[in-house]
Structure 1
Amino acid sequence: MNPGRPEAIKAVPVRHPGRWAGAVVVAVLAAMLLHALITNAQFHWDVVGKYLFDSSILHGLGVTLELTALSMLIGVAGGTLLAIMRLSTNPVLSGTAWFYIWVFRGTPILVQLLFWNFLGALWTKLSIGIPFGPSFWSEPTNQVIPLFMAALLGLGLNEAAYMAEIVRGGIQSVSPGQTEAAHALGMSQSSTMRRIVLPQAMRVIIPPTGNETISMLKTTSLVSAISLEELLRAGQNIYSRTFETIPLLVTVSIWYLLLTSILTVVQYYIERHYARGANRILPPTPLQRLAGLFRGRPKPAAGPDVVPGLEGGGHQ
Protein backbone atom coordinates (compact mmCIF):
# COMPACT_ATOMS: atom_id res chain seq x y z
CA MET A 1 0.00 0.00 0.00
CA ASN A 2 1.27 3.46 -0.84
CA PRO A 3 2.17 5.16 2.50
CA GLY A 4 1.20 8.56 1.09
CA ARG A 5 -2.29 7.48 0.10
CA PRO A 6 -5.11 7.73 2.68
CA GLU A 7 -6.94 4.59 3.66
CA ALA A 8 -10.24 3.83 2.00
CA ILE A 9 -13.23 5.00 3.93
CA LYS A 10 -15.41 2.20 5.17
CA ALA A 11 -19.03 3.28 4.63
CA VAL A 12 -21.42 2.15 7.36
CA PRO A 13 -25.13 2.18 6.50
CA VAL A 14 -27.19 4.57 8.60
CA ARG A 15 -29.52 2.74 10.93
CA HIS A 16 -33.15 3.78 11.15
CA PRO A 17 -34.64 2.00 14.17
CA GLY A 18 -37.46 4.55 14.40
CA ARG A 19 -38.67 3.63 10.92
CA TRP A 20 -38.83 -0.05 11.76
CA ALA A 21 -40.61 0.64 15.06
CA GLY A 22 -43.13 2.85 13.26
CA ALA A 23 -43.67 0.22 10.59
CA VAL A 24 -44.34 -2.43 13.24
CA VAL A 25 -46.86 -0.21 15.02
CA VAL A 26 -48.67 0.57 11.75
CA ALA A 27 -48.71 -3.13 10.79
CA VAL A 28 -50.22 -4.10 14.14
CA LEU A 29 -52.89 -1.40 13.92
CA ALA A 30 -53.73 -2.42 10.35
CA ALA A 31 -54.06 -6.05 11.42
CA MET A 32 -56.35 -5.04 14.29
CA LEU A 33 -58.54 -2.98 11.93
CA LEU A 34 -58.73 -5.83 9.40
CA HIS A 35 -59.63 -8.28 12.17
CA ALA A 36 -62.40 -5.97 13.41
CA LEU A 37 -63.83 -5.57 9.91
CA ILE A 38 -63.90 -9.31 9.32
CA THR A 39 -65.09 -10.57 12.69
CA ASN A 40 -67.71 -7.92 13.56
CA ALA A 41 -70.99 -9.43 12.38
CA GLN A 42 -72.75 -6.05 12.54
CA PHE A 43 -71.15 -5.01 9.25
CA HIS A 44 -73.28 -7.66 7.47
CA TRP A 45 -71.00 -8.00 4.45
CA ASP A 46 -73.55 -10.24 2.76
CA VAL A 47 -76.01 -7.31 2.80
CA VAL A 48 -73.31 -5.01 1.46
CA GLY A 49 -72.76 -7.36 -1.47
CA LYS A 50 -76.51 -7.62 -2.03
CA TYR A 51 -77.03 -3.86 -2.42
CA LEU A 52 -73.69 -2.91 -3.99
CA PHE A 53 -75.17 -3.14 -7.50
CA ASP A 54 -78.80 -2.49 -6.57
CA SER A 55 -80.70 -0.49 -9.19
CA SER A 56 -81.47 2.32 -6.72
CA ILE A 57 -77.80 2.60 -5.72
CA LEU A 58 -76.67 2.63 -9.35
CA HIS A 59 -79.25 5.29 -10.21
CA GLY A 60 -78.04 7.43 -7.31
CA LEU A 61 -74.47 6.83 -8.46
CA GLY A 62 -75.34 8.15 -11.91
CA VAL A 63 -76.92 11.29 -10.43
CA THR A 64 -73.81 11.84 -8.29
CA LEU A 65 -71.50 11.57 -11.28
CA GLU A 66 -73.72 13.87 -13.35
CA LEU A 67 -73.85 16.47 -10.60
CA THR A 68 -70.08 16.29 -10.10
CA ALA A 69 -69.26 16.72 -13.79
CA LEU A 70 -71.73 19.52 -14.48
CA SER A 71 -70.96 21.38 -11.24
CA MET A 72 -67.23 21.33 -11.97
CA LEU A 73 -67.89 22.47 -15.53
CA ILE A 74 -69.84 25.45 -14.20
CA GLY A 75 -67.24 26.02 -11.51
CA VAL A 76 -64.23 25.99 -13.83
CA ALA A 77 -65.86 28.18 -16.50
CA GLY A 78 -67.31 30.60 -13.97
CA GLY A 79 -64.15 30.63 -11.89
CA THR A 80 -61.97 31.45 -14.90
CA LEU A 81 -64.27 34.34 -15.83
CA LEU A 82 -64.33 35.62 -12.25
CA ALA A 83 -60.54 35.38 -11.96
CA ILE A 84 -60.07 37.45 -15.12
CA MET A 85 -62.61 39.97 -13.84
CA ARG A 86 -60.86 40.09 -10.46
CA LEU A 87 -57.53 40.89 -12.14
CA SER A 88 -59.09 43.53 -14.40
CA THR A 89 -58.09 47.17 -13.97
CA ASN A 90 -61.77 48.08 -14.33
CA PRO A 91 -62.99 48.69 -10.74
CA VAL A 92 -66.57 47.69 -11.60
CA LEU A 93 -65.52 44.28 -12.92
CA SER A 94 -63.00 43.60 -10.17
CA GLY A 95 -65.42 44.79 -7.48
CA THR A 96 -68.25 42.63 -8.82
CA ALA A 97 -66.02 39.56 -8.87
CA TRP A 98 -64.79 40.27 -5.35
CA PHE A 99 -68.36 40.64 -4.06
CA TYR A 100 -69.44 37.37 -5.71
CA ILE A 101 -66.50 35.47 -4.22
CA TRP A 102 -67.10 37.07 -0.82
CA VAL A 103 -70.77 36.02 -0.72
CA PHE A 104 -70.43 32.47 -2.06
CA ARG A 105 -67.31 31.60 -0.05
CA GLY A 106 -68.68 33.24 3.08
CA THR A 107 -71.95 31.29 3.34
CA PRO A 108 -72.29 27.51 3.88
CA ILE A 109 -72.99 25.51 0.77
CA LEU A 110 -75.86 23.72 2.52
CA VAL A 111 -77.54 27.10 3.09
CA GLN A 112 -77.07 27.92 -0.60
CA LEU A 113 -78.62 24.61 -1.63
CA LEU A 114 -81.63 25.25 0.58
CA PHE A 115 -81.89 28.79 -0.80
CA TRP A 116 -82.05 27.58 -4.40
CA ASN A 117 -84.53 24.88 -3.42
CA PHE A 118 -86.89 27.42 -1.84
CA LEU A 119 -86.32 30.19 -4.38
CA GLY A 120 -89.99 29.96 -5.33
CA ALA A 121 -90.89 31.35 -1.91
CA LEU A 122 -89.14 34.61 -2.86
CA TRP A 123 -90.21 34.84 -6.50
CA THR A 124 -93.16 32.71 -7.52
CA LYS A 125 -92.42 33.37 -11.19
CA LEU A 126 -89.31 34.09 -13.24
CA SER A 127 -89.70 36.33 -16.29
CA ILE A 128 -87.70 37.87 -19.12
CA GLY A 129 -88.56 41.31 -20.46
CA ILE A 130 -87.71 45.00 -20.36
CA PRO A 131 -86.17 46.06 -17.03
CA PHE A 132 -88.85 47.68 -14.85
CA GLY A 133 -91.26 47.18 -17.77
CA PRO A 134 -93.41 44.47 -19.36
CA SER A 135 -92.23 40.87 -19.56
CA PHE A 136 -92.14 38.73 -22.71
CA TRP A 137 -91.86 35.35 -21.00
CA SER A 138 -92.86 34.12 -17.55
CA GLU A 139 -92.93 30.69 -15.89
CA PRO A 140 -93.37 29.43 -12.31
CA THR A 141 -90.03 29.32 -10.51
CA ASN A 142 -90.38 25.71 -9.40
CA GLN A 143 -90.83 24.63 -13.03
CA VAL A 144 -87.84 26.64 -14.26
CA ILE A 145 -85.65 25.44 -11.37
CA PRO A 146 -86.64 21.85 -10.52
CA LEU A 147 -84.88 19.82 -7.83
CA PHE A 148 -81.89 18.78 -9.96
CA MET A 149 -81.37 22.30 -11.28
CA ALA A 150 -81.48 23.73 -7.76
CA ALA A 151 -78.78 21.28 -6.68
CA LEU A 152 -76.69 22.06 -9.77
CA LEU A 153 -76.90 25.82 -9.24
CA GLY A 154 -76.06 25.50 -5.57
CA LEU A 155 -73.00 23.33 -6.20
CA GLY A 156 -71.76 24.96 -9.43
CA LEU A 157 -72.05 28.60 -8.41
CA ASN A 158 -70.41 27.90 -5.06
CA GLU A 159 -67.56 26.06 -6.78
CA ALA A 160 -67.03 29.00 -9.15
CA ALA A 161 -66.08 31.19 -6.18
CA TYR A 162 -63.36 28.74 -5.07
CA MET A 163 -62.11 28.09 -8.60
CA ALA A 164 -61.82 31.86 -9.14
CA GLU A 165 -59.14 32.07 -6.43
CA ILE A 166 -57.37 28.98 -7.76
CA VAL A 167 -57.27 30.34 -11.31
CA ARG A 168 -56.23 33.78 -10.07
CA GLY A 169 -53.32 32.26 -8.18
CA GLY A 170 -52.29 30.31 -11.28
CA ILE A 171 -52.41 33.39 -13.50
CA GLN A 172 -50.37 35.43 -11.04
CA SER A 173 -47.74 32.67 -10.91
CA VAL A 174 -46.82 33.36 -14.55
CA SER A 175 -44.05 35.91 -14.94
CA PRO A 176 -45.28 39.35 -16.07
CA GLY A 177 -42.51 39.27 -18.66
CA GLN A 178 -44.48 36.67 -20.59
CA THR A 179 -47.39 39.08 -20.97
CA GLU A 180 -45.11 41.99 -21.86
CA ALA A 181 -43.35 39.93 -24.53
CA ALA A 182 -46.69 38.85 -26.03
CA HIS A 183 -47.89 42.46 -26.16
CA ALA A 184 -44.63 43.50 -27.78
CA LEU A 185 -45.36 40.98 -30.54
CA GLY A 186 -48.73 42.61 -31.13
CA MET A 187 -50.95 40.03 -29.40
CA SER A 188 -54.20 41.26 -27.88
CA GLN A 189 -55.01 40.93 -24.19
CA SER A 190 -57.45 38.07 -24.77
CA SER A 191 -55.03 36.20 -27.08
CA THR A 192 -52.23 36.63 -24.57
CA MET A 193 -54.39 35.24 -21.79
CA ARG A 194 -55.65 32.31 -23.89
CA ARG A 195 -52.44 31.31 -25.66
CA ILE A 196 -49.64 32.39 -23.32
CA VAL A 197 -50.73 32.84 -19.71
CA LEU A 198 -53.36 30.15 -19.12
CA PRO A 199 -51.35 27.25 -20.65
CA GLN A 200 -48.44 28.07 -18.32
CA ALA A 201 -50.73 28.61 -15.34
CA MET A 202 -52.22 25.13 -15.77
CA ARG A 203 -49.31 23.56 -13.88
CA VAL A 204 -50.41 25.54 -10.83
CA ILE A 205 -54.15 25.27 -11.45
CA ILE A 206 -54.46 21.52 -12.09
CA PRO A 207 -53.49 20.10 -8.64
CA PRO A 208 -56.01 22.12 -6.59
CA THR A 209 -58.63 21.67 -9.31
CA GLY A 210 -58.23 17.91 -9.00
CA ASN A 211 -58.68 18.21 -5.25
CA GLU A 212 -61.78 20.34 -5.80
CA THR A 213 -63.22 17.68 -8.14
CA ILE A 214 -62.70 14.96 -5.55
CA SER A 215 -64.20 17.22 -2.90
CA MET A 216 -67.16 17.99 -5.18
CA LEU A 217 -67.86 14.27 -5.62
CA LYS A 218 -68.33 13.99 -1.86
CA THR A 219 -70.06 17.35 -1.47
CA THR A 220 -72.87 16.14 -3.74
CA SER A 221 -74.05 14.09 -0.75
CA LEU A 222 -75.37 17.36 0.73
CA VAL A 223 -78.12 17.51 -1.89
CA SER A 224 -79.83 14.72 0.05
CA ALA A 225 -80.97 17.57 2.33
CA ILE A 226 -83.27 18.82 -0.47
CA SER A 227 -84.50 15.26 -1.20
CA LEU A 228 -82.64 14.75 -4.47
CA GLU A 229 -81.84 11.04 -4.78
CA GLU A 230 -78.12 10.84 -5.34
CA LEU A 231 -75.85 8.08 -3.99
CA LEU A 232 -76.22 8.81 -0.28
CA ARG A 233 -79.95 9.49 -0.52
CA ALA A 234 -80.44 6.20 -2.36
CA GLY A 235 -78.77 4.38 0.51
CA GLN A 236 -80.86 6.30 3.04
CA ASN A 237 -84.07 5.39 1.22
CA ILE A 238 -83.16 1.71 1.35
CA TYR A 239 -82.15 1.54 5.01
CA SER A 240 -85.23 3.54 6.02
CA ARG A 241 -87.22 0.51 4.79
CA THR A 242 -84.90 -2.33 5.81
CA PHE A 243 -83.33 -0.78 8.97
CA GLU A 244 -79.92 -2.08 7.78
CA THR A 245 -78.21 1.26 8.33
CA ILE A 246 -74.56 0.27 8.68
CA PRO A 247 -74.42 -2.10 5.66
CA LEU A 248 -75.96 0.54 3.40
CA LEU A 249 -73.58 3.23 4.64
CA VAL A 250 -70.69 0.84 3.96
CA THR A 251 -72.07 0.22 0.46
CA VAL A 252 -72.22 3.95 -0.24
CA SER A 253 -68.73 4.46 1.18
CA ILE A 254 -67.28 1.75 -1.08
CA TRP A 255 -68.60 3.55 -4.15
CA TYR A 256 -67.24 6.89 -2.94
CA LEU A 257 -63.82 5.34 -2.29
CA LEU A 258 -63.78 3.70 -5.72
CA LEU A 259 -64.71 6.92 -7.53
CA THR A 260 -62.25 9.08 -5.61
CA SER A 261 -59.49 6.56 -6.34
CA ILE A 262 -60.23 6.76 -10.07
CA LEU A 263 -60.24 10.56 -9.96
CA THR A 264 -56.92 10.53 -8.11
CA VAL A 265 -55.30 8.47 -10.86
CA VAL A 266 -56.77 10.71 -13.57
CA GLN A 267 -55.48 13.79 -11.72
CA TYR A 268 -51.99 12.28 -11.56
CA TYR A 269 -51.80 11.73 -15.31
CA ILE A 270 -53.15 15.21 -16.06
CA GLU A 271 -50.52 16.76 -13.78
CA ARG A 272 -47.86 14.61 -15.45
CA HIS A 273 -49.01 15.83 -18.87
CA TYR A 274 -48.68 19.50 -17.95
CA ALA A 275 -45.32 18.88 -16.26
CA ARG A 276 -43.70 17.99 -19.60
CA GLY A 277 -42.76 21.58 -20.35
CA ALA A 278 -41.18 22.19 -16.95
CA ASN A 279 -39.47 18.90 -16.02
CA ARG A 280 -36.68 17.37 -18.05
CA ILE A 281 -37.51 13.99 -16.49
CA LEU A 282 -41.11 13.11 -15.76
CA PRO A 283 -42.08 11.26 -12.56
CA PRO A 284 -42.75 7.54 -13.00
CA THR A 285 -46.28 6.35 -13.57
CA PRO A 286 -47.97 4.12 -10.96
CA LEU A 287 -47.36 1.08 -13.20
CA GLN A 288 -43.65 1.98 -13.50
CA ARG A 289 -43.41 2.34 -9.74
CA LEU A 290 -45.13 -1.02 -9.23
CA ALA A 291 -42.77 -2.68 -11.71
CA GLY A 292 -39.85 -1.03 -9.94
CA LEU A 293 -40.69 -2.86 -6.72
CA PHE A 294 -39.72 -6.11 -8.43
CA ARG A 295 -36.60 -4.91 -10.25
CA GLY A 296 -35.16 -2.24 -8.01
CA ARG A 297 -35.66 1.48 -8.14
CA PRO A 298 -38.02 2.49 -11.00
CA LYS A 299 -36.54 4.50 -13.82
CA PRO A 300 -38.54 7.67 -14.51
CA ALA A 301 -39.97 8.24 -17.95
CA ALA A 302 -37.98 10.76 -19.95
CA GLY A 303 -39.65 13.98 -20.99
CA PRO A 304 -39.65 15.23 -24.59
CA ASP A 305 -36.66 17.50 -24.04
CA VAL A 306 -34.23 15.00 -22.48
CA VAL A 307 -30.84 15.07 -24.17
CA PRO A 308 -29.30 11.61 -24.77
CA GLY A 309 -26.54 10.95 -22.28
CA LEU A 310 -28.00 13.43 -19.77
CA GLU A 311 -30.80 11.28 -18.41
CA GLY A 312 -29.41 11.40 -14.89
CA GLY A 313 -31.36 14.49 -13.81
CA GLY A 314 -33.13 14.64 -10.49
CA HIS A 315 -36.64 13.48 -9.79
CA GLN A 316 -39.45 15.97 -9.59
Structure 2
Amino acid sequence: MSAAPTRDSGGDFPWWLVAAGLIAAAAAIGIASSDLYLQVLRIVARGIGITIAVTVVAFALASALGLGIALMALSGSRVLRQAARFYVEIIRGVPILVLLFWIAFAGAPALVAAWNVVAAPLHAAGIGEPLMVRDLSLLWRAVIALTIAYSAFIAEIFRAGLQSVDIGQIEAAKALGLSRYRRFRHVVGPQAFRTILPPYGNDFVAMVKDSSLVSVLGVADITQMGKIYASGSFRFFETYSIVAYIYLILTVGLSLALRALEQRMRRNSRT
Protein backbone atom coordinates (compact mmCIF):
# COMPACT_ATOMS: atom_id res chain seq x y z
CA MET A 1 0.00 0.00 0.00
CA SER A 2 1.43 3.33 -1.00
CA ALA A 3 1.78 6.03 1.59
CA ALA A 4 -0.80 8.80 1.65
CA PRO A 5 0.42 11.98 0.00
CA THR A 6 1.71 14.50 2.46
CA ARG A 7 0.59 18.08 2.42
CA ASP A 8 3.30 20.62 1.75
CA SER A 9 2.94 23.26 4.44
CA GLY A 10 4.87 25.72 2.31
CA GLY A 11 2.12 25.58 -0.29
CA ASP A 12 -0.31 27.03 2.23
CA PHE A 13 1.67 30.21 2.76
CA PRO A 14 -0.67 33.11 1.95
CA TRP A 15 1.29 34.59 -0.93
CA TRP A 16 -1.93 36.22 -2.13
CA LEU A 17 -2.09 38.13 1.14
CA VAL A 18 1.51 39.30 0.73
CA ALA A 19 0.71 40.52 -2.78
CA ALA A 20 -2.48 42.21 -1.61
CA GLY A 21 -0.63 43.82 1.28
CA LEU A 22 2.08 45.19 -1.01
CA ILE A 23 -0.54 46.60 -3.38
CA ALA A 24 -2.47 48.12 -0.47
CA ALA A 25 0.73 49.66 0.93
CA ALA A 26 1.68 51.08 -2.45
CA ALA A 27 -1.83 52.50 -2.85
CA ALA A 28 -1.68 54.03 0.63
CA ILE A 29 1.63 55.71 -0.20
CA GLY A 30 0.17 57.00 -3.46
CA ILE A 31 -2.88 58.38 -1.67
CA ALA A 32 -0.78 60.03 1.05
CA SER A 33 1.45 61.73 -1.52
CA SER A 34 -1.41 63.18 -3.59
CA ASP A 35 -3.49 66.14 -2.46
CA LEU A 36 -6.27 65.13 -4.84
CA TYR A 37 -6.52 61.58 -3.52
CA LEU A 38 -6.36 62.83 0.07
CA GLN A 39 -9.22 65.20 -0.62
CA VAL A 40 -11.29 62.40 -2.17
CA LEU A 41 -10.47 60.15 0.77
CA ARG A 42 -11.59 62.76 3.30
CA ILE A 43 -14.93 63.17 1.51
CA VAL A 44 -15.63 59.48 0.93
CA ALA A 45 -14.52 58.46 4.43
CA ARG A 46 -17.46 60.39 5.87
CA GLY A 47 -19.69 57.54 4.73
CA ILE A 48 -17.77 54.78 6.50
CA GLY A 49 -19.77 55.19 9.70
CA ILE A 50 -23.09 54.87 7.85
CA THR A 51 -21.86 51.83 5.93
CA ILE A 52 -20.76 50.07 9.11
CA ALA A 53 -23.94 51.03 11.00
CA VAL A 54 -26.24 49.83 8.20
CA THR A 55 -24.30 46.56 7.90
CA VAL A 56 -24.20 45.76 11.61
CA VAL A 57 -27.82 46.69 12.37
CA ALA A 58 -29.26 45.00 9.28
CA PHE A 59 -27.18 41.85 9.77
CA ALA A 60 -28.13 41.57 13.44
CA LEU A 61 -31.83 41.94 12.61
CA ALA A 62 -31.50 39.54 9.67
CA SER A 63 -29.82 36.99 11.94
CA ALA A 64 -32.64 37.17 14.49
CA LEU A 65 -35.31 36.91 11.80
CA GLY A 66 -33.39 34.18 9.97
CA LEU A 67 -33.10 32.11 13.15
CA GLY A 68 -36.85 32.37 13.66
CA ILE A 69 -37.50 31.28 10.06
CA ALA A 70 -35.05 28.38 10.44
CA LEU A 71 -36.80 27.16 13.61
CA MET A 72 -40.12 27.39 11.77
CA ALA A 73 -38.65 25.28 8.95
CA LEU A 74 -37.59 22.61 11.47
CA SER A 75 -40.78 22.67 13.55
CA GLY A 76 -43.26 19.83 13.77
CA SER A 77 -46.02 21.96 12.31
CA ARG A 78 -46.61 21.52 8.59
CA VAL A 79 -48.10 25.02 8.38
CA LEU A 80 -44.99 26.61 9.89
CA ARG A 81 -42.68 24.58 7.67
CA GLN A 82 -44.58 25.57 4.54
CA ALA A 83 -44.72 29.22 5.63
CA ALA A 84 -40.95 29.22 6.19
CA ARG A 85 -40.30 27.63 2.81
CA PHE A 86 -42.64 30.13 1.11
CA TYR A 87 -40.81 33.06 2.73
CA VAL A 88 -37.35 31.78 1.85
CA GLU A 89 -38.10 30.94 -1.77
CA ILE A 90 -39.98 34.17 -2.49
CA ILE A 91 -37.46 36.49 -0.86
CA ARG A 92 -34.46 34.73 -2.42
CA GLY A 93 -36.09 35.02 -5.82
CA VAL A 94 -36.26 38.83 -5.75
CA PRO A 95 -33.09 40.84 -6.52
CA ILE A 96 -31.94 42.85 -3.53
CA LEU A 97 -32.05 46.12 -5.48
CA VAL A 98 -35.65 45.49 -6.54
CA LEU A 99 -36.57 44.58 -2.95
CA LEU A 100 -34.89 47.77 -1.77
CA PHE A 101 -36.99 49.89 -4.10
CA TRP A 102 -40.17 48.00 -3.20
CA ILE A 103 -39.66 48.38 0.54
CA ALA A 104 -38.69 52.05 0.21
CA PHE A 105 -41.51 53.19 -2.04
CA ALA A 106 -44.29 50.61 -1.64
CA GLY A 107 -43.74 48.68 1.57
CA ALA A 108 -42.97 51.69 3.77
CA PRO A 109 -46.19 53.59 2.91
CA ALA A 110 -48.18 50.39 3.44
CA LEU A 111 -46.48 49.81 6.80
CA VAL A 112 -47.20 53.37 7.94
CA ALA A 113 -50.84 53.08 6.84
CA ALA A 114 -51.24 49.78 8.70
CA TRP A 115 -49.70 51.28 11.85
CA ASN A 116 -52.09 54.24 11.71
CA VAL A 117 -55.06 51.87 11.45
CA VAL A 118 -53.90 49.84 14.45
CA ALA A 119 -53.10 52.95 16.50
CA ALA A 120 -56.29 54.80 15.51
CA PRO A 121 -57.97 54.29 18.94
CA LEU A 122 -54.93 55.79 20.65
CA HIS A 123 -54.91 58.75 18.28
CA ALA A 124 -58.64 59.28 18.88
CA ALA A 125 -57.92 59.39 22.61
CA GLY A 126 -55.31 62.07 22.08
CA ILE A 127 -52.34 59.73 22.55
CA GLY A 128 -49.74 60.28 19.86
CA GLU A 129 -50.23 61.44 16.31
CA PRO A 130 -50.66 59.55 13.03
CA LEU A 131 -47.37 58.77 11.33
CA MET A 132 -46.42 60.23 7.98
CA VAL A 133 -44.50 58.28 5.37
CA ARG A 134 -41.67 60.78 5.65
CA ASP A 135 -41.34 59.90 9.35
CA LEU A 136 -39.81 56.57 8.28
CA SER A 137 -36.40 57.68 7.07
CA LEU A 138 -34.78 56.30 3.94
CA LEU A 139 -31.99 54.94 6.13
CA TRP A 140 -34.39 52.72 8.05
CA ARG A 141 -36.16 51.68 4.87
CA ALA A 142 -32.79 50.52 3.56
CA VAL A 143 -32.06 48.65 6.79
CA ILE A 144 -35.46 46.93 6.65
CA ALA A 145 -34.90 45.91 3.02
CA LEU A 146 -31.45 44.43 3.72
CA THR A 147 -32.83 42.69 6.80
CA ILE A 148 -35.59 40.99 4.84
CA ALA A 149 -33.30 40.12 1.91
CA TYR A 150 -30.55 38.52 3.99
CA SER A 151 -32.85 36.82 6.50
CA ALA A 152 -33.86 34.30 3.83
CA PHE A 153 -30.25 33.32 3.12
CA ILE A 154 -29.30 33.24 6.79
CA ALA A 155 -32.35 31.10 7.57
CA GLU A 156 -31.08 28.43 5.18
CA ILE A 157 -27.61 28.59 6.75
CA PHE A 158 -29.06 28.13 10.23
CA ARG A 159 -31.38 25.34 9.10
CA ALA A 160 -28.53 23.41 7.47
CA GLY A 161 -26.31 23.91 10.50
CA LEU A 162 -28.94 22.70 12.96
CA GLN A 163 -29.73 19.68 10.80
CA SER A 164 -26.04 18.75 10.62
CA VAL A 165 -25.97 17.81 14.31
CA ASP A 166 -26.15 14.05 14.79
CA ILE A 167 -29.63 13.10 15.97
CA GLY A 168 -28.08 10.45 18.22
CA GLN A 169 -26.39 13.10 20.33
CA ILE A 170 -29.65 14.97 20.71
CA GLU A 171 -31.42 11.79 21.80
CA ALA A 172 -28.61 11.08 24.27
CA ALA A 173 -29.01 14.57 25.73
CA LYS A 174 -32.74 13.94 26.11
CA ALA A 175 -32.01 10.65 27.87
CA LEU A 176 -29.79 12.52 30.32
CA GLY A 177 -32.74 14.75 31.19
CA LEU A 178 -31.39 17.96 29.71
CA SER A 179 -33.99 20.62 29.01
CA ARG A 180 -34.49 21.95 25.49
CA TYR A 181 -32.46 25.06 26.33
CA ARG A 182 -29.60 23.01 27.79
CA ARG A 183 -29.62 20.67 24.80
CA PHE A 184 -29.26 23.66 22.52
CA ARG A 185 -26.70 25.36 24.77
CA HIS A 186 -24.39 22.41 25.31
CA VAL A 187 -25.00 19.98 22.44
CA VAL A 188 -26.70 21.47 19.38
CA GLY A 189 -25.45 25.05 19.46
CA PRO A 190 -21.65 24.51 19.64
CA GLN A 191 -21.66 21.87 16.91
CA ALA A 192 -24.02 23.78 14.64
CA PHE A 193 -22.05 27.00 15.06
CA ARG A 194 -18.87 25.41 13.71
CA THR A 195 -20.79 24.38 10.59
CA ILE A 196 -22.60 27.68 10.28
CA LEU A 197 -19.65 30.04 10.78
CA PRO A 198 -18.01 29.92 7.31
CA PRO A 199 -21.15 30.64 5.22
CA TYR A 200 -22.51 32.94 7.95
CA GLY A 201 -19.30 34.97 7.88
CA ASN A 202 -19.39 35.07 4.10
CA ASP A 203 -22.87 36.57 4.25
CA PHE A 204 -21.62 39.25 6.63
CA VAL A 205 -18.83 40.18 4.23
CA ALA A 206 -21.32 40.15 1.36
CA MET A 207 -23.60 42.53 3.26
CA VAL A 208 -20.75 45.01 3.64
CA LYS A 209 -20.61 45.14 -0.16
CA ASP A 210 -24.38 45.02 -0.71
CA SER A 211 -24.83 47.89 1.73
CA SER A 212 -23.58 50.07 -1.13
CA LEU A 213 -27.02 49.56 -2.71
CA VAL A 214 -28.52 51.94 -0.14
CA SER A 215 -26.85 54.76 -2.06
CA VAL A 216 -29.67 54.56 -4.62
CA LEU A 217 -31.95 55.94 -1.90
CA GLY A 218 -29.59 58.81 -1.16
CA VAL A 219 -28.28 57.33 2.09
CA ALA A 220 -24.88 58.92 2.75
CA ASP A 221 -22.75 55.79 2.79
CA ILE A 222 -19.33 55.35 1.16
CA THR A 223 -20.74 54.87 -2.34
CA GLN A 224 -23.12 57.81 -2.09
CA MET A 225 -20.39 60.15 -0.86
CA GLY A 226 -18.22 59.04 -3.75
CA LYS A 227 -21.09 59.54 -6.20
CA ILE A 228 -21.70 63.08 -4.93
CA TYR A 229 -18.05 64.04 -5.15
CA ALA A 230 -17.53 62.51 -8.60
CA SER A 231 -20.62 64.16 -10.07
CA GLY A 232 -19.40 67.56 -8.90
CA SER A 233 -15.72 67.25 -9.71
CA PHE A 234 -15.82 64.82 -12.67
CA ARG A 235 -12.93 62.97 -11.01
CA PHE A 236 -14.51 59.57 -11.57
CA PHE A 237 -11.32 57.51 -11.76
CA GLU A 238 -9.83 58.91 -8.58
CA THR A 239 -13.12 58.83 -6.67
CA TYR A 240 -14.17 55.29 -7.45
CA SER A 241 -10.63 54.03 -6.99
CA ILE A 242 -10.80 55.33 -3.42
CA VAL A 243 -14.28 53.83 -2.95
CA ALA A 244 -13.05 50.42 -4.15
CA TYR A 245 -9.95 50.71 -1.94
CA ILE A 246 -12.01 51.36 1.19
CA TYR A 247 -14.39 48.47 0.47
CA LEU A 248 -11.46 46.14 -0.13
CA ILE A 249 -9.86 47.11 3.16
CA LEU A 250 -13.13 46.43 4.99
CA THR A 251 -13.99 43.14 3.28
CA VAL A 252 -10.51 41.62 3.20
CA GLY A 253 -9.96 42.59 6.84
CA LEU A 254 -13.24 40.94 7.84
CA SER A 255 -12.45 37.83 5.80
CA LEU A 256 -9.08 37.44 7.53
CA ALA A 257 -10.64 37.91 10.96
CA LEU A 258 -13.31 35.30 10.23
CA ARG A 259 -10.73 32.86 8.91
CA ALA A 260 -8.66 33.28 12.05
CA LEU A 261 -11.76 32.62 14.16
CA GLU A 262 -12.52 29.45 12.17
CA GLN A 263 -8.97 28.15 12.65
CA ARG A 264 -9.09 28.89 16.36
CA MET A 265 -12.38 27.05 16.75
CA ARG A 266 -10.99 24.12 14.75
CA ARG A 267 -7.97 23.91 17.05
CA ASN A 268 -10.14 24.11 20.15
CA SER A 269 -12.38 21.31 18.89
CA ARG A 270 -9.35 19.02 18.52
CA THR A 271 -8.12 19.59 22.07
Alignment TM-score, normalising by the size of structure 1: 0.69
Q: Distance in 2 between matches of 1:274 and 1:75?
A: 24
**Paired residues of 2:116 and 2:131 also in contact (CA < 8 A):** no
Matched, 1:127 2:115: yes
Instruction: Write 1 or 2 for the structure with the bigger share of helix.
Output: 2
Q: CA shift at 1:103, angstroms? A: 1.7
Match of 1:175 among 160, 166, 181: 166
Q: Separation in 1 of the partners of 2:198 and 2:121? A: 45
- Going from structure 1 to structure 2, the CA distance change for 1:181 and 1:155 (only over 3 Å counts) comes to same
**Separation (CA, whole Å) in 2 of partners of 1:136 and 1:125:** 15
Q: Match for residue 18 of structure 1? A: none
Query: Aligned residue for 1:267?
Result: 258
When normalised by structure 2's length, the TM-score is: 0.80
1:159 match: 150
Q: What is the alpha-carbon distance in structure 1 between the residues aligned to residue 186 and residue 61 of structure 2?
A: 22
SS of the residue corresponding to residue 278 of structure 1 reads helix
Unpaired segments ≥5 residues, structure 1 = 1-29, 39-43, 280-304, 306-316
Instruction: Please tell me the residue identity of whatever aligns with 2:38.
Output: G
How far is 1:190 from its partner?
3.8
Q: Which residue of 1 aligns with 2:56?
A: 69
Q: Provide closer, same or farther for how the CA distance between residues 180 and 129 of structure 1 changes in structure 2, counting only shifts above 3 A.
A: farther
Between the two structures, name the one with larger relative contact order (CA 8 Å, sep ≥ 6).
2
Q: Quickly say closer, same or farther: Cα 1:196–1:136, change in 2 above 3 A.
A: farther
Please give the residue correspondences for 1:34-73 in structure 2 after superposition, counting only pairs within 5 Å. Answer: 46-52=35-41, 54=42, 56-73=43-60
In 1, Cα distance between equivalents of 2:120 and 2:52: 40
| Conserved? CA contact 1:45–1:247, under 8 Å | no
Q: Please tell me whether the aligned partners of residues 51 and 57 of structure 1 are also in contact (alpha carbons under 8 angstroms).
A: yes
Candidates 165, 168, 190, aligned match of 1:199:
190
Question: 2:128 matched to 1:142?
Answer: no
Cα contact 1:129–1:136 (8 A) shared by 2: no
The number of residue pairs the alignment matches comes to: 239
SS in 1 for 2:115: strand
Aligned partners of 2:61 and 2:113: how far apart in 1? 24
Judged with a 3 Å threshold, the aligned counterparts in structure 2 of structure 1 residues 77 and 194 are, in CA distance, closer, same or farther, namely farther
CA RMSD, Structure 1 to Structure 2 (Å): 2.7
Distance 2:245 2:89 in 1: 35
1:97 maps to 2:97:
no
Give the C-alpha shift of residue 58 in structure 1: 2.2
Is residue 215 of structure 1 aligned with residue 206 of structure 2? yes
